[in-house]
Amino acid sequence: MTNKSQLTILVNSTDSFEDCWQPFFKLFSIYWPNCPYPIVLNTETKTFSYSGLNIQCSQVGLDELSTKLSWSDCLIRCLDKINTKYVLYLQEDYFINDYVNTALIDEFLQIMENEECAHIRLMEIVGNKNEPYKKLSKYPLLWELRQKCNYRISLQAGIWDKDRLKFYLKPNESGWEFERWGSIRASKEPDKFYCQSLDYFNRQSKYIIPYSLTGIVKGKWLEEAVVELFQKHDIDVDYSVRGFYRLNQKQQLIQAMRKAGRKLFVEIFS
């Protein structure tokens, strides 16, 4: 059996997103009570605590006060501070909105160990192109990401072998560059990359770690992801500081179609 002490929750952030930490960890404490894993919040210099949660802040930039570290340099330094074999990667604007399935995370962690897998994505996004999936008869809740798929590497929630994540990271990259160029790097390596079955999870609107794909877009709050959720849990935020990101007409239409499609799928097959 895989020891639970082999996994760390890594909440990747930056000091300028400090206003997300209180909402994030309040929702975390509600929807993942008794989380059995240690938590590391990746920061440059700042610290944060939340009652009932054992949060360690990485403070990776304390010795670089005159230099702004890149996104990838911050993450590399954070990984160097983590002692566990695996990390569960999250970001500070992945605001959890329903209960986390810890049992499945434990099960997938065991599969990581058994298969010597580099990554199991817990929030695969419908739309990855080039028929990237191979269904796994041995693990019906997981699909394998094919070698040449567009987003072999994604920054959505997922379990990583810490050393393999660090292997794919390169200095001076942004998160967007890591997804793009890291996927190309990963296409040349034999590592196993799995994701949750879209049939079992996405198309039935049930997730291992339920959250909207992002709570902030281009530095602004995404109203659809945060306002109702924060009101429900008495989370007080001054939205005027960041303002709201507004979807354009095309984006609104796509979002509405996806939502209607998911609802119809559930009605037909449930």
Q: Return the domain boundaries, the chain.
A: 4-269
Q: Give residue 1's pLDDT.
A: 45
Cα Rg of the chain, angstroms: 18
User: What are the DSSP E strand ranges found in the chain?
Assistant: 7-12, 39-42, 55-57, 86-91, 119-121, 133-135, 142-145, 158-161, 193-196, 216-217, 220-222, 244-245
Q: Tell me how far apart the alpha carbons of residues 100 and 207 are, in angstroms, rounded to a whole number.
A: 8
Q: Given strand 244-245, what is the order of strands in its sheet? A: 216-217, 220-222, 244-245
Q: What are the backbone dihedrals phi and psi of residue 85, each rounded to the nearest 5 degrees, phi first?
A: -70, -30
Distance CA 107, CA 100 (A): 13
Largest CA distance in the chain: 58
In our burial notation (b when 16+ CB lie closer than 10 A, e otherwise), range 170-183 reads eeebeeeebbeebb
Sign of CA dihedral 210, 214, 220, 225: negative
pLDDT in tens, the chain (270 residues): 455 679 999 999 999 999 999 999 999 999 999 999 999 999 999 999 999 999 999 999 998 766 789 999 999 999 999 999 999 999 999 999 999 999 999 999 999 999 999 999 999 976 555 568 899 999 999 999 998 888 899 999 999 999 999 999 999 999 999 999 999 999 999 999 999 999 999 888 889 999 999 999 999 999 999 999 999 999 999 999 999 998 665 665 665 555 554 443 334 333
- Contact status, residue 211 vs residue 95, Cβ threshold 8 Å: yes
Question: What residue type is assigned to position 232 of the chain?
Answer: K
**What are the counts of helices (DSSP H) followed by strands (DSSP E) for the chain?**
7, 12
| End-to-end CA separation in angstroms for the chain | 34
Instruction: Please list, residue by residue across 31-69, b when 16 or more beta carbons sit within 10 angstroms of its beta carbon and e when fewer do.
Output: bbeebebbbbbbbbeeebebeebebebbbbbeeeeeeeb
**How far apart are alpha carbons 7 and 225 in whole angstroms?**
28
Can you give the pLDDT at residue 245? 92
Q: What is residue 162's three-state secondary structure?
A: helix
pLDDT in tens, 69-85: 999 999 999 999 999 99
Superfamily (CATH H level) for 4-269: Spore Coat Polysaccharide Biosynthesis Protein SpsA; Chain A (3.90.550.10)
**How far apart, in Å, are the Cα atoms of 88 and each of 52, 142, 201, 217?**
20, 17, 19, 22
